[in-house]
């Protein structure tokens, strides 16, 4: 009993700490500070005469340290340096992986696409959902495309899945993926999104959701997750901070828009299932699966 109470206190304290970290960013957050330090370092390097290419190469060489450390540690370190984009302290659990990939039938039970399916996973991180897709869903004719923004995670994904010729791994933001690689609309049967939408600006959220809608084929489905409780705490924290700081008020207004976009987006689909709640994940999460209307442009 004492252990349970202790765990509950720890969990609540951690959630408060995280949401404070994520929300009261009228003041700069840890990610901004680290980014500023890195930028200053790069500027100094450039002034000292190193070209951008040389710096990129250097980063390329330095990144693989994390490919050999435990994945949870790579995740934690990434979260500390950029909590906005990484969005979580730890990788998702296998329970969340099962729920979010539930919209993809096993290849040998999916008679709709006998020539194989195209699956897009956005923000795979260390590949928890990817492993599930490969192990339980994919057949020999299916193709999986991974789009990961963080170089550390990209290297981990390369090491884990680089040998599988059904899988393509891109190191870029989903915001530039379609235009840079000239991916046609309606290219994917299934999209699994691991992005922390609650941390993004309303403009980015709108752009990404619009992109997902365009990339899905008619009859395809999209699954993403949102954390429970954190959005409420974040909204509340920002609302309080907005009373004192102008920048926080702007963030609060933008965050309300982000939440609106996520709600309105669901109207574009013929059927939305948000009944799957996963408590065996840190933080608790809900999976939202959207099934595309046939013939939707
Ligand atoms: C909450 S983590 C989820 C990681 C993994 N799917 C999991 O559940 O353990 C979010 C992931 O999205 C990636 N990410 C954030 N912004 C992105 C973007 N614009 N394009 C592609 N990936 C992005 C982060 O680097 C991180 O790996």
Cβ distance 220 to 191 under 8 Å? Answer: yes
Mean pLDDT computed over 98-110: 96
Residue with CA nearest ligand 1 atom 14: 123
Model confidence pLDDT, tens digit, residues 56-71: 554 554 455 666 688 8
| Ligand 1 centre distance from Cα of residue 124 (Å) | 6
Mean pLDDT computed over 257-262: 93
Q: Does residue 151 carry a pLDDT above 70? A: yes
Identify the residue with better confidence: 103 or 74.
103
Q: Which among 170, 171, 172, 215 is positioned nearest to 192, based on CA atoms?
A: 215
| Ligand 1 centre distance from Cα of residue 148 (Å) | 6
> Which two tokens mark 134?
């490969």
162-190 core/surface letters (b: 16 or more CB in 10 A; e: else): eeeebbebbeebbeebbeeeebeeebbbb
CA 97 to ligand 1: nearest atom: 8
Cβ < 6 Å from ligand 1: which residues?
85-88, 91-92, 122-125, 128-129, 147-150, 153, 173-175, 194-196
| Ligand 1 centre distance from Cα of residue 295 (Å) | 30
pLDDT value of residue 84: 85
Q: Does residue 33 carry a pLDDT above 50? A: no
Q: Does residue 255 carry a pLDDT above 70? A: yes
- Distant-in-sequence, close-in-space partners of 67: CB < 8 Å, separation ≥ 6: 74, 155, 156, 158, 159
Residue with CA nearest ligand 1 atom 8: 92
CA 82 to ligand 1: nearest atom: 25
- At the topology level, CATH places domain 1-297 in Rossmann fold (3.40.50)
Mean pLDDT computed over 20-47: 42
| Ligand 1 centre distance from Cα of residue 237 (Å) | 24
Model confidence pLDDT, tens digit, residues 163-192: 999 999 999 999 999 999 999 999 999 999
**What does the CA dihedral 154, 70, 283, 126 come to, rounded to 10 degrees?**
20
Q: Does residue 226 carry a pLDDT above 60? A: yes
* Dihedral sign for Cα atoms in the order 182, 185, 188, 194: positive
């Amino acid at each position: 009993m004492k252990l349970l109470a202790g765990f509950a206190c720890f969990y609540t304290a951690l959630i408060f700490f995280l949401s404070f970290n994520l929300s009261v960013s009228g003041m700069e957050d840890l990610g901004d500070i680290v980014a500023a330090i890195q930028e200053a370092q790069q500027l100094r390097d450039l002034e000292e005469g190193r070209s951008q290419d040389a710096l990129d190469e250097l980063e390329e060489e330095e990144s693989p340290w994390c490919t050999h450390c435990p994945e949870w540690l790579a995740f934690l370190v990434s979260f500390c340096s950029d909590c906005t984009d990484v969005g979580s302290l730890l990788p998702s659990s296998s329970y969340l992986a099962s729920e979010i990939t539930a919209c993809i039938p096993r290849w040998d039970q999916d008679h709709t696409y006998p020539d194989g399916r195209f699956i897009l996973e956005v923000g795979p991180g260390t590949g928890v959902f990817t492993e599930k897709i490969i192990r339980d869903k994919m057949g020999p004719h299916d193709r999986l495309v991974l789009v990961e923004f963080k170089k550390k995670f990209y290297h981990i994904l390369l090491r884990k899945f680089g040998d599988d010729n059904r899988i393509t791994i891109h190191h870029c933001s989903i915001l530039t993926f379609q235009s840079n690689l000239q991916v046609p609309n309606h290219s994917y049967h299934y999209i699994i999104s691991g992005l922390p939408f609650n941390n993004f600006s309303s403009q980015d959220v709108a752009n990404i959701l619009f992109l997902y809608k365009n990339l899905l084929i008619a009859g395809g489905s999209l699954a993403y997750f949102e954390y429970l409780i954190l959005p409420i705490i974040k909204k509340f924290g920002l609302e309080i901070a907005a009373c004192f700081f102008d920048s926080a008020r702007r963030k609060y207004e933008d965050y309300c828009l982000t939440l609106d976009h996520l709600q309105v987006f669901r109207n574009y689909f013929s059927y939305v299932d948000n009944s799957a709640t996963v408590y065996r994940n840190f933080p608790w999460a809900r999976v939202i699966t959207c099934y595309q209307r046939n013939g939707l442009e």
